[in-house]
Amino acid sequence: MKSVAVVLAVLLASQCLAVRPPPRSQRPLTWPGGLSLSQDFKPSKVDLDLCKFCIDFSQQAIQQLLNIILQVGVVGTCGELCQALADKTGSQALGVACNLLCDIEGVQEFIKLIEKADLDPIYYCELLKQCTIKDDGDAKITTLSVNPKSGPQGTFIIDVEYVSKNGTGTGEMVIDIDTVDGIPLGQGFVLEAQEAGTYGQKISLRAEPNPDCDPTQGPCESFQPGNYGVRIALCNGECGSKHPHSQIYDQGMTNFTITG
Protein backbone atom coordinates (compact mmCIF):
# COMPACT_ATOMS: atom_id res chain seq x y z
CA MET A 1 0.00 0.00 0.00
CA LYS A 2 2.86 2.37 0.78
CA SER A 3 4.39 1.91 -2.68
CA VAL A 4 1.02 2.63 -4.29
CA ALA A 5 0.69 5.80 -2.25
CA VAL A 6 4.17 6.93 -3.32
CA VAL A 7 3.37 6.34 -7.00
CA LEU A 8 0.14 8.31 -6.73
CA ALA A 9 1.93 11.14 -4.93
CA VAL A 10 4.60 11.26 -7.64
CA LEU A 11 1.97 11.38 -10.38
CA LEU A 12 0.08 14.15 -8.62
CA ALA A 13 3.19 16.20 -7.95
CA SER A 14 4.44 15.65 -11.51
CA GLN A 15 1.18 17.03 -12.93
CA CYS A 16 1.37 20.06 -10.66
CA LEU A 17 5.04 20.71 -11.47
CA ALA A 18 4.20 20.56 -15.18
CA VAL A 19 1.78 23.48 -14.91
CA ARG A 20 4.59 25.95 -15.60
CA PRO A 21 7.92 25.30 -17.35
CA PRO A 22 10.79 25.03 -14.85
CA PRO A 23 13.48 27.72 -15.21
CA ARG A 24 17.04 26.64 -15.94
CA SER A 25 19.58 27.53 -13.29
CA GLN A 26 21.71 29.61 -15.64
CA ARG A 27 19.70 30.08 -18.82
CA PRO A 28 16.04 31.20 -18.69
CA LEU A 29 13.57 29.02 -20.58
CA THR A 30 12.30 32.13 -22.38
CA TRP A 31 14.58 35.08 -22.92
CA PRO A 32 12.85 38.48 -23.17
CA GLY A 33 11.78 38.96 -26.76
CA GLY A 34 9.43 36.18 -27.74
CA LEU A 35 11.40 33.00 -28.34
CA SER A 36 9.04 30.04 -28.18
CA LEU A 37 10.55 26.56 -28.29
CA SER A 38 8.94 23.16 -28.06
CA GLN A 39 10.43 19.71 -28.42
CA ASP A 40 9.41 16.43 -29.98
CA PHE A 41 11.60 13.64 -28.61
CA LYS A 42 11.51 9.94 -29.37
CA PRO A 43 10.38 8.02 -26.28
CA SER A 44 13.23 7.00 -23.99
CA LYS A 45 14.35 3.38 -24.19
CA VAL A 46 15.69 3.55 -20.64
CA ASP A 47 13.43 3.44 -17.58
CA LEU A 48 14.48 6.55 -15.64
CA ASP A 49 12.02 6.15 -12.76
CA LEU A 50 12.05 9.52 -10.96
CA CYS A 51 14.74 11.24 -13.07
CA LYS A 52 12.62 13.71 -15.03
CA PHE A 53 10.45 14.28 -11.97
CA CYS A 54 13.57 15.05 -9.91
CA ILE A 55 15.03 17.44 -12.50
CA ASP A 56 11.74 19.33 -12.87
CA PHE A 57 11.61 19.69 -9.10
CA SER A 58 15.23 20.80 -8.67
CA GLN A 59 15.00 23.34 -11.50
CA GLN A 60 12.18 25.05 -9.65
CA ALA A 61 13.27 24.54 -6.06
CA ILE A 62 17.03 24.17 -5.63
CA GLN A 63 17.71 27.93 -5.38
CA GLN A 64 14.85 28.39 -2.92
CA LEU A 65 16.06 25.47 -0.82
CA LEU A 66 19.57 26.94 -0.67
CA ASN A 67 18.10 30.25 0.51
CA ILE A 68 16.05 28.49 3.19
CA ILE A 69 19.09 26.55 4.40
CA LEU A 70 21.18 29.74 4.58
CA GLN A 71 18.46 31.67 6.40
CA VAL A 72 17.17 28.98 8.77
CA GLY A 73 20.30 26.90 9.31
CA VAL A 74 19.91 23.39 10.71
CA VAL A 75 16.52 21.87 9.80
CA GLY A 76 15.27 18.96 11.87
CA THR A 77 13.13 16.95 9.46
CA CYS A 78 12.22 16.63 5.80
CA GLY A 79 8.72 17.76 6.70
CA GLU A 80 9.96 21.03 8.23
CA LEU A 81 12.28 21.81 5.33
CA CYS A 82 9.73 20.96 2.65
CA GLN A 83 6.92 22.86 4.38
CA ALA A 84 9.21 25.90 4.46
CA LEU A 85 9.72 25.45 0.73
CA ALA A 86 5.97 25.20 0.12
CA ASP A 87 5.35 28.32 2.22
CA LYS A 88 8.12 30.30 0.50
CA THR A 89 7.03 29.40 -3.03
CA GLY A 90 3.29 29.14 -2.46
CA SER A 91 3.38 25.72 -4.12
CA GLN A 92 2.17 22.68 -2.21
CA ALA A 93 3.24 20.56 -5.22
CA LEU A 94 6.87 21.55 -4.61
CA GLY A 95 6.42 20.65 -0.96
CA VAL A 96 5.11 17.18 -1.88
CA ALA A 97 7.94 16.61 -4.36
CA CYS A 98 10.47 17.80 -1.81
CA ASN A 99 9.20 15.32 0.78
CA LEU A 100 9.34 12.42 -1.68
CA LEU A 101 12.96 13.12 -2.65
CA CYS A 102 14.13 14.14 0.82
CA ASP A 103 12.87 10.87 2.31
CA ILE A 104 15.17 8.93 -0.04
CA GLU A 105 18.37 10.06 1.73
CA GLY A 106 17.14 11.73 4.93
CA VAL A 107 17.17 15.45 5.61
CA GLN A 108 20.86 15.87 6.51
CA GLU A 109 22.14 14.07 3.39
CA PHE A 110 19.45 15.79 1.29
CA ILE A 111 20.81 19.19 2.39
CA LYS A 112 24.44 18.13 1.80
CA LEU A 113 23.60 17.09 -1.77
CA ILE A 114 21.81 20.38 -2.45
CA GLU A 115 24.90 22.30 -1.37
CA LYS A 116 27.24 19.98 -3.30
CA ALA A 117 25.23 20.24 -6.54
CA ASP A 118 25.75 24.02 -6.65
CA LEU A 119 22.61 24.84 -8.71
CA ASP A 120 23.17 22.01 -11.21
CA PRO A 121 19.80 20.16 -11.37
CA ILE A 122 21.05 17.17 -13.38
CA TYR A 123 24.08 16.57 -11.16
CA TYR A 124 21.88 16.95 -8.09
CA CYS A 125 19.51 14.23 -9.30
CA GLU A 126 22.48 12.01 -10.15
CA LEU A 127 23.72 12.48 -6.58
CA LEU A 128 20.25 11.46 -5.40
CA LYS A 129 20.63 8.34 -7.59
CA GLN A 130 17.48 9.22 -9.54
CA CYS A 131 19.15 9.81 -12.95
CA THR A 132 21.26 7.49 -15.05
CA ILE A 133 25.03 8.12 -15.05
CA LYS A 134 27.00 7.00 -18.11
CA ASP A 135 30.46 8.47 -18.56
CA ASP A 136 31.34 6.46 -21.70
CA GLY A 137 28.35 7.74 -23.68
CA ASP A 138 28.53 9.54 -27.01
CA ALA A 139 26.38 11.43 -29.50
CA LYS A 140 27.24 12.72 -32.98
CA ILE A 141 25.06 15.23 -34.82
CA THR A 142 24.28 13.92 -38.31
CA THR A 143 21.60 16.39 -39.43
CA LEU A 144 21.04 20.02 -38.50
CA SER A 145 18.77 22.16 -40.65
CA VAL A 146 16.10 24.86 -40.50
CA ASN A 147 12.86 24.84 -42.45
CA PRO A 148 12.18 27.13 -44.15
CA LYS A 149 15.74 28.17 -44.85
CA SER A 150 14.47 31.65 -45.74
CA GLY A 151 11.13 33.31 -45.16
CA PRO A 152 9.20 36.09 -43.43
CA GLN A 153 8.63 36.31 -39.70
CA GLY A 154 6.78 33.24 -38.41
CA THR A 155 7.53 29.69 -37.33
CA PHE A 156 10.82 28.03 -38.27
CA ILE A 157 11.44 24.34 -37.55
CA ILE A 158 14.92 23.35 -36.38
CA ASP A 159 15.53 19.70 -37.23
CA VAL A 160 18.26 17.86 -35.29
CA GLU A 161 19.28 14.22 -35.70
CA TYR A 162 22.11 12.45 -33.93
CA VAL A 163 23.51 8.95 -33.56
CA SER A 164 24.94 7.30 -30.46
CA LYS A 165 27.17 4.22 -30.61
CA ASN A 166 27.41 3.57 -26.87
CA GLY A 167 24.26 5.27 -25.60
CA THR A 168 24.03 8.49 -23.61
CA GLY A 169 23.82 9.56 -20.00
CA THR A 170 21.30 12.02 -18.61
CA GLY A 171 22.07 15.38 -20.21
CA GLU A 172 20.69 18.22 -22.21
CA MET A 173 20.50 19.84 -25.60
CA VAL A 174 21.14 23.59 -25.68
CA ILE A 175 20.03 25.82 -28.55
CA ASP A 176 21.36 29.36 -28.99
CA ILE A 177 20.16 31.81 -31.63
CA ASP A 178 22.52 34.55 -32.88
CA THR A 179 20.18 37.43 -33.70
CA VAL A 180 20.66 40.39 -36.03
CA ASP A 181 20.41 42.92 -33.18
CA GLY A 182 22.62 40.92 -30.82
CA ILE A 183 19.93 40.05 -28.24
CA PRO A 184 20.79 36.55 -26.95
CA LEU A 185 18.10 33.89 -27.29
CA GLY A 186 18.50 30.35 -26.06
CA GLN A 187 16.99 27.37 -24.33
CA GLY A 188 18.04 24.04 -22.89
CA PHE A 189 16.09 20.77 -23.01
CA VAL A 190 16.71 17.79 -20.76
CA LEU A 191 17.85 14.73 -22.73
CA GLU A 192 16.89 11.46 -21.14
CA ALA A 193 19.47 8.68 -21.06
CA GLN A 194 19.24 6.60 -24.22
CA GLU A 195 20.51 3.30 -25.52
CA ALA A 196 22.65 3.21 -28.67
CA GLY A 197 20.68 4.29 -31.73
CA THR A 198 19.58 7.17 -33.93
CA TYR A 199 17.43 9.95 -32.51
CA GLY A 200 15.74 13.05 -33.83
CA GLN A 201 14.28 16.24 -32.40
CA LYS A 202 12.24 19.00 -33.99
CA ILE A 203 12.26 22.37 -32.28
CA SER A 204 9.70 25.03 -33.19
CA LEU A 205 11.05 28.59 -33.17
CA ARG A 206 8.39 31.30 -33.24
CA ALA A 207 10.40 34.06 -34.90
CA GLU A 208 8.15 37.07 -34.45
CA PRO A 209 7.88 39.85 -31.85
CA ASN A 210 6.28 38.84 -28.57
CA PRO A 211 3.36 41.20 -27.83
CA ASP A 212 3.66 40.38 -24.12
CA CYS A 213 7.35 41.26 -23.84
CA ASP A 214 8.00 43.86 -21.13
CA PRO A 215 10.97 46.08 -22.14
CA THR A 216 11.48 47.06 -18.49
CA GLN A 217 12.49 43.43 -17.82
CA GLY A 218 15.03 43.31 -20.63
CA PRO A 219 15.41 43.97 -24.37
CA CYS A 220 12.66 42.66 -26.65
CA GLU A 221 13.72 40.72 -29.74
CA SER A 222 12.06 42.13 -32.87
CA PHE A 223 13.32 39.51 -35.36
CA GLN A 224 14.49 42.02 -37.93
CA PRO A 225 15.21 40.87 -41.50
CA GLY A 226 18.64 39.30 -41.86
CA ASN A 227 20.70 36.17 -41.21
CA TYR A 228 20.31 34.24 -37.95
CA GLY A 229 22.81 31.69 -36.65
CA VAL A 230 21.69 28.53 -34.84
CA ARG A 231 24.10 26.76 -32.50
CA ILE A 232 23.33 23.34 -30.99
CA ALA A 233 25.18 21.51 -28.23
CA LEU A 234 24.50 17.92 -27.07
CA CYS A 235 25.84 17.28 -23.60
CA ASN A 236 26.22 14.66 -20.92
CA GLY A 237 24.99 16.42 -17.79
CA GLU A 238 24.34 20.15 -17.93
CA CYS A 239 26.16 21.90 -20.80
CA GLY A 240 29.05 23.92 -19.41
CA SER A 241 28.94 22.24 -15.99
CA LYS A 242 32.23 21.61 -14.19
CA HIS A 243 30.73 18.81 -12.11
CA PRO A 244 31.49 15.11 -12.65
CA HIS A 245 29.57 13.21 -15.35
CA SER A 246 29.47 16.31 -17.57
CA GLN A 247 30.87 16.72 -21.05
CA ILE A 248 29.97 18.11 -24.48
CA TYR A 249 29.20 15.23 -26.84
CA ASP A 250 28.98 17.30 -30.00
CA GLN A 251 28.18 20.77 -31.35
CA GLY A 252 26.77 22.03 -34.64
CA MET A 253 25.89 25.25 -36.44
CA THR A 254 23.47 26.29 -39.16
CA ASN A 255 21.51 29.40 -40.11
CA PHE A 256 18.31 30.77 -41.58
CA THR A 257 17.22 34.09 -43.04
CA ILE A 258 14.25 36.29 -42.14
CA THR A 259 13.15 38.26 -45.19
CA GLY A 260 11.64 41.74 -45.19
Count of H helices and E strands in the chain? 6, 8
Predicted confidence at residue 74, as pLDDT, reads 66
Taking the C-alpha atoms of residue 7 and residue 11, their distance in angstroms, rounded to an integer, is 6
pLDDT at position 9, please?
44
Return d(Cα 208, Cα 152) in angstroms, integer. Answer: 9
Nearest to 30 by CA among 40, 19, 21, 39: 21
CA–CA separation, 181 and 183 (whole Å): 6
Computed on alpha carbons and rounded to an integer, the radius of gyration of the chain in Å comes to 20
Q: What is the pLDDT of residue 42?
A: 55
Sequential pLDDT tens for the chain (260 residues): 333 334 434 444 444 454 333 333 334 334 444 445 555 555 555 444 679 889 999 999 999 999 998 887 767 899 999 999 999 999 999 999 999 999 988 999 999 999 998 889 999 999 999 999 999 999 999 999 999 999 999 999 999 999 999 999 999 999 999 999 998 888 888 998 999 999 998 898 989 988 888 888 888 899 999 999 999 999 999 999 999 999 999 999 999 999 98
Domain ranges of the chain: 2-9+49-127, 31-45+134-258
Residue 32: predicted pLDDT: 41
Q: What is the pLDDT of residue 118?
A: 87
CATH topology of domain 31-45+134-258: Immunoglobulin-like (2.60.40)
Instruction: Decide: 95 and 101 in contact? Cβ < 8 Å.
Output: no
- Count of C-beta atoms within a 10 Å radius of residue 112: 13
Provide the CA 152 distance to its chain's centre, in angstroms.
30
pLDDT, residue 21, reads 38
* pLDDT recorded at residue 39: 55
CA 7, CA 9: separation in Å to the nearest integer? 5
Structure confidence at residue 4 (pLDDT): 33
First to last CA, the chain: 63
Q: Please report the pLDDT score of residue 253 as a whole number.
A: 98
Cα 259 to the chain's mean position, in Å? 31
Q: Do residues 167 and 212 lie in contact, with contact meaning Cβ atoms separated by under 8 Å?
A: no
Give the C-alpha separation, 28 to 19, whole Å. Answer: 17
